[in-house]
Chain A
Amino acid sequence: MRLDAESRMRDGERVMRILVAFKVTPDYEALRDADWVAGPGDGVETRYVRRILNCFDESALELALGLRDGPAPRRVEEPVDAEAGVSLGALTIGGRDTEPHLTTLIALGYERAARIDPSAALDFSPPATAALIAGYVRQVGGGDLVLLGCRSGPGDAGVVPFLVAAELGWPCLTQVTAIECYDDDRLRVTCAAEDGALALTLRPPCVLAVGNATVSHLSVPTLSQRLAQRGRRPDVLTPADVGVDVGVAAGDATTELVGLERVAHTRPGTVVEGSTPREKAAALYASYPHGW
């Protein structure tokens, strides 16, 4: 990657900085039916549920590793800078329960790993979340390319990437499914557009929101990778460190969650009887004589 800013130099090597902003969420599939009730605050009680990476963010984290480790640019109009490289950073907004994931990312070779502790629930505050991510990019020097999942729970609004782009004044591309180096300062990106699969070329800075990428599982670091990074801890920042007053950002929310209702998906659930799969299939077949 050809980059011109002095801050992008590392030991004389020109480096493209990629920041992946990810979210650690409760595993909603692990909740019992009876647990889906609105809590005393403005959400469902999920503190006892195991934490997982938001699925779209997990794809983004793995796509970034692929950019670092992947093949050389597929088409070269000018000689590729042999000393160019990719530097990865990971950022999340949350409490201590996010740190195991950050430690895993450090072991996988993420050079920067940080969490911003907001000291307030921002699950339904996309503008505040976006302000923190953009603040990190501006204040800490987050990257030339910001990757995020296109949507995350529990809010599922799918607007944080767009708001980050708006904060930074960058373009945004969503439903990204693949990214590769194109030449020494451009990327070739594939996304699922409304009218088909769209491939295009772009030059960072840019925000990319990852959708249903087939690269969907984060690599697992080896024991030697973990040992090599033993002792490295993620940075812990406050909103003030990135120039954001999150109390104001969250308190001034122009869109506020004021209530929750359980969604019921209920049908009769008539059990089809039989002692073997073939008998049950026959009973099912006979039950819907006009359905097939």
Chain B
Amino acid sequence: MRFVTVLDGTVAGAERRARGLGGFLREGLSGMTATTAGETLVCYGDPDDRGRLADLAPTADVRLVRAPPRRPDIVVAVLAALAGTDPPDLFLFDGGPAGTEAAARLAHRTGGSLLTASLGLALDAEGGLGRRSVYSGHMTGRFRLRARPWCVTVDASWQESGLAALPAHRILSEGDAATGASPSPFIDLELEEPAADDLAAARIVVVAGNGAGGRDGVARIAAAAARMGAAFGVTRPVAMNAWAPVDRLIGVSGKRVAPAVCIVAGASGAPAFLWGVERAGVIVAVNPDEHAPITRAADAVVHDDGVAVIEALADLVAGEPGAG
């Protein structure tokens, strides 16, 4: 069993991606540790980043290649050349857009099996068996990987893993895929870097759902959250109704939070949303519907109007010495 992990260091976020790949290798693989031998292809843009990025690699053996940013097609060409006539059994990518595109294009090119957002991968007598979330988070599917190489991306939840402590990295080769590369089809790029993510570091998060009743209700919950010193998030229906900015969206298509306390007001509790809050220490659901799915996913349930309860709670928290 041979594998190649692919660490894209051409755009920001390499450490997060390395944590995901490393966590998956340590805890997501089963049935193949005894014979596992792998290496990491590290793609970098700025030569000054080479050393730092090589140190992030989740395997001891590393290949370095300089590549232009946002070019999965070039990464795939590098991997295809690297594989030659004896490809490894497994190519492992991070689960971001570039990693997913590279995995898909590589599977298309090689005829290999493709599995995205993998929760785990086992090797058994029949070959590879991977798991991933399906049906908007309601179910987990088991997928048989029938053709090698297996082109697999790791689920975003693996990025919560710690970085592996490797004794030393060995550079197997260095290459340059940037010089002479075909021009990008995308030009005049302007990148607006995101503002600091208050949701990621928050101790308390208050989430407004559709039950807030409209833009005014959502704004009142946001104001109450601010008085509590809490970060504010919303469910997908709220964001899609433009009652709050999309960067506040929590769930599979938005952010994942892990506060000590998460108060969810007026959300039904769709699995795709619950994925975004399930790491919270305590989940409080405020919902007048006693049968809403969120009531079974919460530690505490308040059956009442979300806006009224959150505002009353904000009064209490803000009145605490040093609070608000």
Q: Give the contacts of A133-190 with B (CB-CB under 8 A).
A: 151, 153-159, 162-163, 165-167, 171-175, 177
Complex contact B190–A199 (CB within 8 A) = yes
Secondary structure at chain A's binding surface: helix, strand, loop or mixed? mixed
The stretch of A5-13, A206-214, A232-240 in contact with B is A206-214
Assess the B309–A280 pair: CB atoms within 8 A: yes
Q: Which residue of B lies closest to A38 (CB)?
A: B139
- Is A255 on the interface with B (CB-CB < 8 A)? yes
Partner of B104, one of A31, A159, A195, A203: A159
Closest CB in chain A relative to B204 CB, distance in Å: 7
Decide if A227 is an interface residue (CB 8 Å cutoff): no
Contact of B270 among A29, A154, A282 (CB under 8 A): A29
| Residue in B closest to A279 when the chains form the complex, CB atoms | B312
- Does B219 lie at the interface of the complex (its beta carbon under 8 Å from any beta carbon of A)? no
Contacts of A194 in B (CB 8 A): 11-13, 96-98
Between A127, A217, A291, the greatest number of chain B beta carbons within 10 A of the residue's beta carbon is seen for A291
Are B299 and A263 within 8 A (Cβ)? no
Q: Which parts of B81-122 form the interface with A (CB within 8 Å)?
A: 96-98, 100-101, 103-105, 107-109, 111-117
Bound Cα distance from A257 to B129, whole angstroms = 10
Count of chain B residues near A, Cβ 8 A: 98
Q: B204 to chain A: which residues have CB within 8 Å?
A: 291-292
**Which residues from chain B contact A175 at a C-beta distance below 8 Å?**
97
Closest B residue to A188 using CB positions: B188
In the bound complex, residues from chain B placing their C-beta under 8 Å from that of A263 are 133, 137-140, 271
User: Is the Cβ of A267 less than 8 Å from the Cβ of B113?
Assistant: no
Which of B21-29, B33-41, B60-68, B290-298 binds A? Answer: B290-298
How far is B305's CA from A268's CA once the two chains are assembled, in angstroms? 21
Query: Which residues of chain B have C-beta atoms less than 8 A from A96's C-beta?
Result: none
C-alpha gap A196/B70 in the complex (Å): 13
How near does chain A come to B85, taking the closest CB pair, in angstroms?
A: 19
> What per-residue 1/0 map shows which CB atoms of A254-270 lie under 8 Å from chain B?
11111111110111111
B interface residues (Cβ-Cβ under 8 A, vs A): 11-13, 70, 73, 96-98, 100-101, 103-105, 107-109, 111-117, 129, 132-147, 185-194, 204, 228, 236, 239-242, 246, 249, 252-254, 260-261, 268-271, 274, 278, 281-285, 293, 295-305, 308-313, 315-317, 320, 323
- 24 A-B pairs with CB atoms under 8 Å apart are A28-B136, A28-B138, A33-B293, A154-B134, A157-B114, A195-B193, A199-B192, A200-B186, A202-B186, A212-B246, A253-B146, A254-B146, A255-B113, A258-B142, A260-B135, A261-B142, A265-B269, A268-B299, A268-B300, A271-B300, A272-B301, A277-B305, A282-B312, A284-B313
Contacts A127-B108, A274-B304 supplied; 9 other A-B pairs, CB < 8 Å: A55-B236, A124-B141, A154-B135, A196-B194, A200-B190, A214-B240, A261-B140, A280-B304, A291-B204
Q: 5 tightest A-B contacts by CB?
A: A281-B312, A277-B308, A162-B104, A216-B240, A254-B147
Contacts from A to B (Cβ < 8 Å) = 28-29, 31, 33, 36, 38, 44, 55, 124, 126-127, 151, 153-159, 162-163, 165-167, 171-175, 177, 193-203, 206, 211-212, 214, 216-217, 253-263, 265-272, 274, 277-278, 280-282, 284-285, 287-288, 291-292
